[in-house]
């Protein structure tokens, strides 16, 4: 569960906080990136039917790219919509990182196949300690791959953003950022609908009950309703 | 009871302790570290069982034989694997104490338990609980108030914590109880499976998930509508501002129906199309 985009994004954001100068957005950008990626990267199909995606590192890379770019590129690409642009940049970086990270899974599985043959030999020889060492090596490799990819993906994402964003700075305006953000938010909610409402039986009925319950609460509190 | 005790040979020999089962439980957390297409969690299963093998068998040859028995194909849901490990630990214990249990019997029991646990576990944990836990974290962002609008936003710590707590409140219970319960109910795998009530839990969580999504949609639309019309210009203005959100939703809903599992590509394409269209307007 630590590998969920929301968790990774928020933890990376809390660790990478660029300081008081950016306080207003530094902790809200990770939340925004985490929420969008959580909705977009949750696949309701069974694991065997899913496309290979590295969901675990997507949130970390997305948030890191967003925060570092905000700190470095704000003077070049400055819009009136505050952190929304950087949430967009982080989400797109996270989506691309999840695809690329998925491709990196394949060599790891191939390596596990080699380890399995070695494990057979060790078991036949009764060398339990060596077998355990081989297995802990596998655990370490997973961790190392995730850590390396998180760092490499972040560097690649920052480099790409530093190259692309100044080139298209003239077309990045507040209203355009808002428009793209709204479309991406709609896409994320469609993905969430697909996962939480369309997949389970009686989903629409229970979703309607949830919506009705909140409308009643908002009406009771005197707040605005959609 | 699985395994028959030969007449005149009392079952005597090493017995498993609670500490051994606890070690198996902790090792089962790494079940998928050497996951491969051919054996799936086979190596992880053998790795988790090593404390049992060490306790029951002495000598490298005996231990090696026992380890080799469990290196074959094994595939179930990782959270529920503890139940199979517990049952197999009990059978290995009986075998070590001289009760006749064939290798094929242990293999049959493993497969008979692993398949239904995978069939119930995947929809429960991967398809329902994990998305629900993420949704609870997201809802935390919508519901929790900001302590100080200009200061540090503590939701960045609370929201992931909510997600982690929601998932582990269910999953950790199965992880911790799995090995001891499998060990205790090794003679009646049917009763073991039935006692988990996995189908009922899936149904309850599915409905909670849909309910939570309904809550999230209204909360989000409420905030969007408020921020879209700060000067109270009316419903037409709100509809105009919310149009890109609705279009993005409809396009992605159609896309996901047509190409399930392509959410990432659809989202990237939608963002690109929106940017391209906005530069032409």
Considering the domain boundaries, does residue B184 fall inside one? yes
B182 in the same domain as B46: yes
Residue B281, pLDDT score = 65
Residue A223, pLDDT score = 54
Helical H runs in B97-230?
103-121, 130-143, 155-184, 189-195, 198-228
Q: What share of chain A is helix, strand, coil (3-state, %, to 5)?
A: 80, 0, 20
Residue A225, pLDDT score = 47
Q: Do A218 and B278 touch (CB under 8 A)?
A: no
- Count: domains in chain B: 2
> From first to last of its 226 residues, what are the pLDDT tens digits of chain A?
567 899 999 989 888 877 777 776 777 889 999 999 999 998 877 777 778 888 889 999 999 999 999 888 888 887 777 688 999 999 999 999 999 988 888 888 888 888 999 999 999 999 999 999 999 999 999 899 989 999 999 999 999 999 999 998 888 888 888 899 999 999 999 999 998 898 777 889 999 999 999 999 988 886 554 4
B214 in the same domain as B88: no
Q: Which of B120, B65, B130, B135 has the alpha carbon at shortest distance from B96?
A: B65
Residue A207, pLDDT score = 94
Considering the domain boundaries, does residue B141 fall inside one? no
B234 in the same domain as B262: yes
Residue B170, pLDDT score = 94
Cα–Cα distance list, A226 to A2, A78, A221, B94, B158 (Å): 34, 31, 14, 65, 27
Residue from the list B54, B163, B267 with its beta carbon closest to the beta carbon of A7: B163
B263 in the same domain as B178: no
pTM: 0.89
Considering the domain boundaries, does residue B154 fall inside one? no
B115 in the same domain as B4: yes
B253 in the same domain as B185: no
Interior angle at CA A138, CA A135 and CA A139, nearest 5: 95
Considering the domain boundaries, does residue B255 fall inside one? yes
The minimum CA-CA distance between B279 and chain A, rounded to whole Å, is 7
Cα–Cα distance list, B220 to A203, B49, B142, B173 (Å): 19, 48, 7, 33
Chain centre to alpha carbon of residue B48: 18
Q: Do B249 and A189 touch (CB under 8 A)?
A: yes
| Length in residues, chain B | 281
B210 in the same domain as B184: no
Q: Do A179 and B274 touch (CB under 8 A)?
A: yes
Last residue of a domain, one of B196, B231, B264: B196
B250 in the same domain as B187: no
Considering the domain boundaries, does residue B167 fall inside one? no
Range of the domain at B266: 197-281
Q: Other CB atoms closer than 10 Å to residue B178's CB: what's the count?
A: 25
The minimum CA-CA distance between A179 and chain B, rounded to whole Å, is 6
B48 in the same domain as B14: yes
Considering the domain boundaries, does residue B189 fall inside one? yes
B269 in the same domain as B185: no
- Residues of chain B with pLDDT below 50 are 4-10
B108 in the same domain as B73: yes
In DSSP notation, B196-259 reads T-HHHHHHHHHHHHHHHHHHHHHHHHHHHHHHH-TT---HHHHHHHHHHHHHHHHHHHHHHHHS
- A185 Cβ neighbours under 8 A, 6+ residues apart: A36, B220, B245, B248
Q: Do B159 and A31 touch (CB under 8 A)?
A: yes
Residue B146, pLDDT score = 66
B222 in the same domain as B188: no
The minimum CA-CA distance between B7 and chain A, rounded to whole Å, is 32
Average pLDDT of chain B to the nearest whole number: 88
Domains of chain A: which residue ranges?
5-220
């Amino acid at each position: 569960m630590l590998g969920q985009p929301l968790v990774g994004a928020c933890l990376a954001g809390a660790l990478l906080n660029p300081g008081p100068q950016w306080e207003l957005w530094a902790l809200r950008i990770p939340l925004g990136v985490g929420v969008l990626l959580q909705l977009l990267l949750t696949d309701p199909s069974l694991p065997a039917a899913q496309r290979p995606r590295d969901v675990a590192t997507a949130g970390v890379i997305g948030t890191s790219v967003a925060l570092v770019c905000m700190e470095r590129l704000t003077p070049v690409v400055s819009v009136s919509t505050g952190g929304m642009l950087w949430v967009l940049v982080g989400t797109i970086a996270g989506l691309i990182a999840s695809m690329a990270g998925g491709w990196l899974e394949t060599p790891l599985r191939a390596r596990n196949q080699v380890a399995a043959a070695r494990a057979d030999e060790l078991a036949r020889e009764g060398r339990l300690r060596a077998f355990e060492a081989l297995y802990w090596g596998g655990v370490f490799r997973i961790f190392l791959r995730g850590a390396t990819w998180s760092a490499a993906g972040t560097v690649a994402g920052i480099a790409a953003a530093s190259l692309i964003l100044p080139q298209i700075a003239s077309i990045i305006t507040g209203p355009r950022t808002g428009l793209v953000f709204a479309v991406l938010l709609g896409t994320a909610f469609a993905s969430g609908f697909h996962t939480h409402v369309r997949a389970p039986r009686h989903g629409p009925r229970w979703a309607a009950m949830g919506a009705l319950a909140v409308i009643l609460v908002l009406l009771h509190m005197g707040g605005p309703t959609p | 009871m699985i395994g028959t005790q030969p007449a005149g040979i009392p079952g005597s020999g090493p017995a498993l302790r609670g500490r051994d089962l606890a070690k198996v439980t902790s090792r089962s957390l790494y079940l998928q570290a050497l996951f491969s297409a051919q054996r799936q969690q086979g190596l992880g299963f053998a790795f988790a069982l090593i404390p049992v093998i060490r306790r029951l068998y002495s000598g490298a040859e005996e231990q090696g034989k026992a380890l080799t028995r469990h290196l074959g194909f094994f595939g179930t849901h990782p959270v529920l694997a503890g139940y199979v490990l517990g049952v197999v630990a009990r059978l290995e214990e009986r075998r070590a104490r001289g009760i006749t249990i064939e290798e094929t019997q242990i293999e049959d029991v493993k497969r008979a338990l692993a398949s239904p646990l995978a069939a119930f576990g995947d929809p429960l944990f991967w398809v329902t609980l994990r998305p629900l836990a993420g949704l609870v974290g997201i809802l935390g962002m919508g519901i929790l108030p900001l302590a100080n609008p200009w200061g540090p936003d503590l939701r960045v710590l609370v929201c992931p914590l909510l997600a982690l707590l929601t998932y582990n409140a269910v999953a950790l219970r199965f992880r911790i109880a799995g090995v001891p319960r499998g060990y205790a109910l090794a003679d009646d795998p049917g009763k073991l499976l039935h006692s988990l009530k996995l189908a009922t839990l899936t149904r309850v969580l599915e409905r909670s998930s849909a309910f939570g999504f309904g809550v999230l949609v209204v909360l989000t639309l409420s905030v969007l509508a408020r921020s879209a019309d700060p000067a109270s210009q009316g419903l037409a203005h709100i509809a105009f501002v919310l149009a890109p959100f609705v279009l993005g939703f409809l396009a992605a809903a159609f896309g996901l129906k047509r190409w399930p599992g392509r959410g990432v590509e659809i989202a990237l394409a939608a963002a690109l199309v929106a940017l391209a269209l906005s530069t032409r307007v």
